[in-house]
Structure 1
């Protein structure tokens, strides 16, 4: 049986901004799916900082709502880490769209709150990971146009309610649907062992990131360059640096 037919765990976050090293998680969803069975876990978190208006426009969570209804970060982050570590430790792939961002901000947040990171919980590494964005960039690298989640769903004919995207759970379900849709178009994917697929994605992402970095630098851009490290970007905070990250 191919891994395509086995269980998968989807993961997504909505945050206070676009920096995985400096921003905070506001909502998260971890969804395990195997066949028709779906188990959904969701978190609303009080990030402890103001949620910028631009972030609220994306995910709909205000500072007031997060403070009134959100969980304390340490408790929620520990639950998220346990759920992901249990899946990965059992060899179940964790799936996310542009998951480098979500895993990097999670690792940084765990360290910021003095919790064990996924890297510390998983001696064999944070793997196996599947990212439809990485797969698509590699398999159809010359296709023109945007590659946001909504665009990819159109490309691979995954049905979504556009207005529902940018809620963590909706994004996860759409991303989980993308994986078999991509595998249907590229049937050889299903025959690749998960650990090998993880390594192939790491290599593919590194090549893409280095090319894109070089292009950005040639245009004079030196900030917010993509990290070639995958699935966690270089610079994720270590526990001993947690206090400094708060300021």
Structure 2
């Protein structure tokens, strides 16, 4: 089997109407395939059919007027984006998305809303999840811009779908160079476990502050070990790697000692 870093890349990004991926509609998208130094990039502008909130327009710059005047029919546009991803997976590409749990949840949720079956995911690499695991102690933000700066990757225009997608693809290349041990991993299962552990730790932090953890979603919308679909599963149901269990138990010991 071809090691995942040696597979061709397909970078993907969405700009949407909402921070909640299960409520968001797509405004713009990019699917870009990497063939060596050649990149074939395709972009979409969609009319989401609902007002674009001012706070999201402030992020990606797309207004209601622009989407209505120049955007594709939403159903047709969604179908083209979905098919581009499915075609990439069918050709053996690994799809790259920064914070894939957001973008792929949007694709799956919108597909269901429009009457399509659940999205059949192939291999995915998420530089956001990989970076947080491989360089845990680096201070500072973990936004796309900050992570690009940390690895010397160009981000031409943040929150523009094509720029974000291309940056994500180049980030994965840079991560594999910086951390060659990534090539030995079961990248799907490991990313799911890393994401679940981070969300579990975040929930524990919120609980320590006496805050509600209802909205902390530990799922990663991909298949985990053994092909198990973890799209709808909370963090507590995703198996912890032994290193995560050791760290968690050490934290629990310290908490008891401090009492």
Q: Smaller-chain TM-score range?
A: 0.7 to 0.9
Out of 135, 144, 161, the position equivalent to 1:140 is 135
Could you give the per-residue CA deviations for residues 90-140 of structure 1, whole angstroms, max 9, x where no partner exists?
A: 33111000010000011111111112331xxx3xxx231100011011111
Q: Contact 1:13 / 1:27 at 8 angstroms: preserved in 2?
A: yes
The answer to whether the Cα contact below 8 Å between 1:74 and 1:115 also exists between their aligned partners in 2 is no
1:174 is the counterpart of 2:167: yes
Q: Counterparts of 1:63 and 1:218 in 2: how far apart (Å)?
A: 41
Residue 211 of structure 2 corresponds to residue 216 of structure 1: no
Question: Cα deviation per residue 1:16-74 (whole Å; 9 max; x = unaligned)?
Answer: 12011112110011111120221111111111110011111111110111111111111
Which residue of structure 2 aligns with residue 14 of structure 1?
15
Does structure 1 residue 197 correspond to structure 2 residue 187? yes
How far apart are the structure 2 equivalents of 1:19 and 1:224?
Answer: 14
Aligned residues: 224
What residue number does 1:87 align with?
Answer: 88
Give the secondary-structure state (helix, strand or coil) at the position aligned to 2:44: strand
Separation in 1, partners of 2:82, 2:164: 19
**TM-score, with structure 2 as normaliser:** 0.81
State the match for 1:243 in structure 2. none
CA deviations over 1:206-245 (Å, ceiling 9, x no partner):
111111122123324326733211125539xxxxxxxxxx
Is contact 2:203–2:213 with CA below 8 Å preserved after alignment?
no
CA distance in 2, matches of 1:176, 1:226: 27
**Any gaps of 5 or more consecutive residues in structure 1?**
236-247
Pairwise CA distance, 1:145: 1.2
Q: Which structure is richer in relative contact order (CA contacts within 8 A, separation 6 or more)?
A: 1
Q: How far apart are 1:143 and its partner, in Å?
A: 2.1
Q: What are the ranges of 5 or more consecutive residues in structure 2 without an aligned counterpart?
A: 223-230, 234-259
TM-score of the two chains, using structure 1 as the length reference: 0.85
Partner of 1:151: 146
